[in-house]
A and B are shown apart, each in its own frame.
Chain A
Amino acid sequence: MSTATQSERVALTGNEAAATAMRQINPDVVAAYPITPQTEIVQMFSNFVADGDVHTEFVRVESEHSAMSAVIASAASGARSMTATSANGLALMWEMLYIAASYRMPIVMPVVNRALSGPINIHCDHSDSMGARDSGWIQLYSENAQEAYDNIIQAVRIGEHPDVRLPVMVCQDGFIISHAMDNLYVLPDEDVQAFIGEGGGQEHSLLDVDNPATFGPLDLQNWYFEHKRQQVEGMKNAHRVIPEVAREFADVSGRSYDFFEEYRTEDADVVVVVLGSTAGTAKDVVDAMRADGHKVGLVKIRVFRPLPADKLVESLLSRSAVAIMDRSDTFSSAGGPVYHAVRHALYDVDERPPVSNYIYGLGGRDIRPSQIRRVFEETLEVARTGQRSRSISYLGVRE
């Protein structure tokens, strides 16, 4: 971070950091509806609009379904478009999420992760965004306010890249990040503007009356499959574009990003895979266990869609054992979504390590260093015994 001399160190909550990024992006259109714990983002952004700090057309819609519909339309007109949501708001957007992705609209949406009802709960888990993992959106996960801020700015460039043209969700943990004041470095407004560029990135515009185009026509057996295959190609291209954007961002900010972060994994026998704020706590646990002589490390996934499957295999294949921590469940009775993804990626490797799954933190249940330590200790035991089984544990639930 020392190279980021032009950055200002501030103390902001995750929501304030997200709203600041949105102000600096200065999108053409924001259509949003408030929902805890995302509300503050929209509230603060509407202040920026009222104060004339941004030129954004702010659309006060009557639901999240309308919010997503509105930004799909504005993106189709070539306007840089954003919204933000959480939990049930994201769920209400569901059918429009798929339409945004399949129309290839580069919408950027901060998602403040919150447990999906029911029973009704306002606190953090990943059931909302994980449920949308197959909607065709790029998904970035953030450990803290800094990463939420940095990811939102990079998301604009990733989504608008002509070879990608996909919407991007930037996830941060509800309350744990969104409502916690944290230190971060904020770029000068002009640096953000220079980094994101003119943008828009749409080849055709709904508002170009001289070159009229039809968006969203009926697409039956003879074409639908071709368009879905194109969509996959956009995701594939994102594998190339995400690191390109990260390199440019590092030049501006001094902060480096990749598909995932490897923390003290060089010689690690045991690696735990996690995403979101829990990675911060887990890093402290890694340090404590390293001090005790255990060869343990952490992989923190930043990009879950597209899934960096090959790179994860490269990072994990030489380990003696791996544990995946999931903050949501698939209710398949066969493990959580991150576990499925990572375990699947490892299948083609002959010498693959045993992979176990810990589902934790549902509905905002606190995750303590002692619990993460238990995950490492049990995984070290798996490494010692070489025991291989489909092990799915619920960490922190009263048994």
Chain B
Amino acid sequence: MKKMRFSIYRYNPETDAKPYMQDYEVEIGPKDIKLLDVLTKLKAMDDTVSFRRSCREGICGSDGMNINGKNGLACLTDVATLAEPVTLRPLPGLPVVRDLIVDMTQFFKQYHSIKPYVVNNTPAPERERLQSPEDRKELDGLYECILCACCSTSCPSFWWNPDKFVGPAGLLAAYRFIADTRDEITSERLDNLEDPYRLFRCHTIMNCVDVCPKHLNPTRAIGKIKDLMVKRAV
């Protein structure tokens, strides 16, 4: 059976003075297809290694981590594609709770700041609020975000100003509700983002697009928000 080498970021704030990298060797069996399979095996070897996981199929967004220098989901990453030793670190830019687990508070604060829900004050019709197929199509590529934070934590603007810059995930969600024809507070949403920090920290370097495990394009959504602001202003 083939062995694979791993170098994993370890940090337990209660016992360790500072983080360190620990090396492991794991036997790769025929059923170990994804990185998460191997990590689960490794957890059985050393149960002090901590990481988040849940659905193991790229839907829950729990196991985002920095894999060989690039953010991604362990459950969607093929082990066969990884160069050895596989270096695993927590998502950059967020405080580490332990090992590969980061504190996502700041990330979700930004997400909540864009009001991630449809606001419609018109009395509800007897049945659901309808959209034309074309209007609904505008939401494709937006609603699929699983909030794994791979994009925002690969964005230098988010590293420098996580408290002020909404970040690619939050802005993608913002556009999702701006684009929704059932939402009635478009202008208020644009007002909320018209700020040198909240929106305009994005300098279009597209790290977010590069890492998104769901192949979404936050940069395009951010561009569309800016387009709407221009349309509103001129």
Report whether chain A binds chain B.
no
Chain A positions within 8 Å of B, measured between CB atoms, are none
